[in-house]
Amino acid sequence: EAEVAQSPRYKITEKSQAVAFWCDPISGHATLYWYRQILGQGPELLVQFQDESVVDDSQLPKDRFSAERLKGVDSTLKIQPAELGDSAMYLCASSLQVGNEQFFGPGTRLTVL
Amino acid sequence: QQQVKQSPQSLIVQKGGISIINCAYENTAFDYFPWYQQFPGKGPALLIAIRPDVSEKKEGRFTISFNKSAKQFSLHIMDSQPGDSATYFCAASHLQGAQKLVFGQGTRLTINP
């Protein structure tokens, strides 16, 4: 069964360091999403891609976060510099097209010390 | 206006009982209401979804009840089983445009054997 792959699964870093997360969506899925899930809360959309183009990044803290999907397939989310408040689960999801069911990956648990 | 409020935060139900989780929204432009199930260490997975042209949708033991005038919807799990123990999230989105999902805060459901 096709799944969304994410790596690493866990990341511990010190504040002010740079971190990067990788996502490989289900093959053929044009839409890719990055969510942040703070412990005890629901996921919050950070950025949405349609192929290689950003559709929505209104909740992405652009002073420190960046995301890219250069070839419209896999994607990288970067934080530089990391802050204590960035500790959360970072989830990637993909869908065939906008409006179709979103399939989530297992997430990357980030801890900033 | 973009918020989705979910209750209760946690719920304990005996095996065989009915689990009920409630959500309320404010934005009347929302027209797609999915429920997600999340097990520890996993990403959320779509459980069941409803559109506002119907008041109820049933899939196996899971039922969504939708009250458009009250701007509320709920998930009912009949004959709850220990394997249903998970965190449940309601969500809402527009079917037009970027179709960004707005999630509720989550309900941790425990089914006692």
- Is A39's Cβ below 8 Å from some Cβ in B? no
A42:B99 CB<8 A: no
Biggest CA pair distance of chain A? 38
| CB nearest B42 (choices: A56, A99, A106) | A106
Q: Look at residue A112 and tell me if it is in a domain.
A: no
> Do the beta carbons of residue B92 and residue B27 sit within 8 Å?
yes
Q: Look at residue A68 and tell me if it is in a domain.
A: yes
- Is A97's Cβ below 8 Å from some Cβ in B? no
Q: What is the 3-state secondary structure (H, E, C) of chain B?
A: CCCEEEECCEEEEECCCCEEEEEEECCCCCCEEEEEEECCCCCCEEEEEECCCCCEEEECCEEEEEECCCCEEEEEECCCCHHHCEEEEEEEECCCCCCCCEECCCEEEEEEC
Q: Give the CATH number of the domain where residue B48 resides.
A: 2.60.40.10
What's the domain range around B70?
4-112
Contacts of B39 in chain A (CB under 8 A): none
Residues of chain A with pLDDT under 50: none
Q: Report, in angstroms and rounded to the nearest whole number, the Rg of chain B calculated over CA atoms.
A: 14
Burial class (CB in 10 A: 0-12, 13-18, 19+), A24: middle
What rounded mean pLDDT belongs to chain B? Answer: 93
pLDDT of residue B98: 62
> B37: which 2 tokens?
């199930």
> Do the beta carbons of residue A28 and residue A98 sit within 8 Å?
no
Contacts of B106 in chain A (CB under 8 A): 40-42
What's the domain range around A99?
5-107
> Do the beta carbons of residue A70 and residue A78 sit within 8 Å?
no
Q: Give the CATH number of the domain where residue A60 resides.
A: 2.60.40.10
Q: Look at residue A53 and tell me if it is in a domain.
A: yes
Residue B97 has pLDDT above 70, yes or no: no
Residue B34 has pLDDT above 60, yes or no: yes
Report the percent of chain B where pLDDT is more than 90: 79
Instruction: Name the one residue in this structure whose structure tokens are 């006692």.
Output: B112
Name which of B5, B30, B38 to mutate to probe chain A: the one with the most chain A Cβ atoms within 10 A of its Cβ. Answer: B38
B→A contacts (Cβ < 8 Å), by residue, are 4, 6, 41-46, 89, 91, 95, 98-101, 103-106
* Residues pairing with B111 in the sheet: B13
A104:B44 CB<8 A: yes
In this structure, of A51-60, A100-109, B13-22, B93-102, the range with the lowest mean pLDDT score is B93-102
pLDDT of residue A13: 97
Total domains in chain A come to: 1
Question: What is the rounded CA–CA span in Å between residue A49 and residue B12?
Answer: 38
Q: If we measure between CA atoms, which residue out of A68, A67, A46, A54 comes closest to residue A98?
A: A54
Total domains in chain B come to: 1
| CB nearest A42 (choices: B46, B100, B104) | B104
Question: What is the rounded CA–CA span in Å between residue A56 and residue A49?
Answer: 7
Residue B96 has pLDDT above 80, yes or no: no
Cβ–Cβ pairs < 8 A, chains A and B: 46
